Amino acid sequence: MTALEQKTLDIYRLLPEHEQILAYELIKRLVLAWDSDFTKLTHEERERLEKSDIDLTNGDTVVMSDIDW
């Protein structure tokens, strides 16, 4: 968790429960407005995807027949 995420959570926890519900709904609406289908990648997801693209380009893949299913 980043320092900003922790600060946000600390502030959120200071609110009374009924205000936490309001804050949650506001955050949810902001996220949906930012990406209504939740299709944008997080920073970590972007890094993993870029690494997997490099692995694929370099031929670093797993042969399906090598997997003991």
The mean predicted confidence, pLDDT, of the chain is: 89
**pLDDT score for 64:** 82
SS3 62: coil
Judged against a pLDDT cut of 80, whether residue 61 lies above it is answered with: yes
Q: Give me Rg for the CA atoms of the chain.
A: 20
Nearest to 44 by CA among 2, 8, 9: 2
Q: Report how far residue 11's alpha carbon sits from residue 6's, in angstroms, rounded to the nearest whole number.
A: 9
**pLDDT score for 25:** 94
Judged against a pLDDT cut of 80, whether residue 40 lies above it is answered with: no
The gap from C-alpha 56 to its chain's centroid, in whole angstroms, comes to: 23
Q: Report how far residue 28's alpha carbon sits from residue 62's, in angstroms, rounded to the nearest whole number.
A: 38
Judged against a pLDDT cut of 90, whether residue 4 lies above it is answered with: yes
Judged against a pLDDT cut of 90, whether residue 24 lies above it is answered with: yes
**pLDDT score for 2:** 92
How many CB atoms sit inside 10 A of residue 49's CB?
11
Question: Which sequence spans correspond to the domains of the chain?
Answer: 3-61
